[in-house]
Copies of this chain bind each other. A is one copy, B any other.
């Protein structure tokens, strides 16, 4: 313990010694006659900001936990855990949140990807309640734009009993992503971890066949929203620039998973990347651009409210959450 710290603790006195009283719950005292307390609930998971005249809403769909030791393929577990501990995250459980980006435009609401449908474990499926809290009727979602076809991004197309959840929406899909996962001939050429996507893509898009529009990369897919190719995480992984009134942001989808790992350390390869080398190359290019141009982003697996900026820091980067404001 450094001397100045010891002095500081002496100066602060014994305030930080846990008192024995805490071992004796009876000393806490009995509840008095206050009004009955409702069971404390978490705040709804939505947040709004403006890009020009567009109102952007990020909406949380819950989370999925999995063991850290299965995530990174090119660093030791100890190295990964040291990074997580610097971010005050669990060193054993990778907490993977899902937050969707929606854009309210004069033509209706555009939603990017469509969440888990509550079909990826007990902590998923918060999207409907959070949309309700945000005052967004799902029938107002006229367009769903897909970044890629991993399970957590497309499963919400169908309910657990197979009904289309957004039957009125047009689905915009990147042409290379659609072509890759629609060709079952690619299945044996895919990493084992990725093979279940073929069946899931067929199943989830099945009831929507007449509502799917394939779009080329690097085009305006709806007014104010441009696609650009960012392959590696999947073969047709695609980012979207959202722009209005001279302002812009980018939905970066899974260019990086949690920023504490993959923005601080773009060199990390994740088991969830289809082609880790290509994913890293794309990640580095995109991070360089975002840091240089100071473009606001939203990310699907960023900590809620899942929007902010990329700051260059030495040879690497940091994610800086956008300032939270109580007014839009």
Residues of A whose CB lies within 8 Å of any CB of B are 1, 4-5, 8-9, 11-16, 18-19, 21-22, 27-32, 34-35, 37-38, 40-48, 55, 57, 60, 62-63, 86-89, 95, 97, 104-108, 123, 126, 133-135, 137, 139-140, 142, 217-218, 220, 223-224, 226-229, 241, 243-246, 248, 285-286, 288-289, 292-294, 303-305, 308-309, 311, 320-328
From B8, B89, B323, contact of A323 by CB (8 A): B89
- As for how many copies of this chain the complex holds, the number is 2
- How far is the CB of A117 from the nearest CB of chain B, in Å? 16
| Chain B residues whose C-beta falls within 8 Å of the C-beta of A244 in the assembled complex | 22
A320 to B86, CA, bound (A): 9
Is B42 within 8 A of A44, CB to CB?
no
| Chain B residues whose C-beta falls within 8 Å of the C-beta of A28 in the assembled complex | 105-107, 223-224
> Told that A18-B248, A22-B244 touch, could you supply 9 new A-B pairs with CB distance under 8 A?
A4-B288, A13-B228, A41-B328, A43-B44, A88-B320, A88-B322, A97-B324, A97-B325, A303-B323
Is B218 within 8 A of A95, CB to CB?
no
A42 to B43, CA, bound (A): 12
| Chain B residues whose C-beta falls within 8 Å of the C-beta of A48 in the assembled complex | 40-43
Is B88 within 8 A of A308, CB to CB?
yes
Most chain-B CB neighbours within 10 Å: which of A11, A19, A88? A88
A14 to B305, CA, bound (A): 29
Is B289 within 8 A of A107, CB to CB?
no
| Chain B residues whose C-beta falls within 8 Å of the C-beta of A321 in the assembled complex | 303, 321
A139 to B36, CA, bound (A): 11
Is B289 within 8 A of A326, CB to CB?
no
Most chain-B CB neighbours within 10 Å: which of A40, A45, A60, A321? A40
Question: What 10 A-B pairs have minimum CB-CB distances, sorted nearest first?
Answer: A15-B228, A8-B285, A13-B218, A38-B135, A304-B324, A88-B309, A40-B55, A34-B140, A29-B107, A15-B226
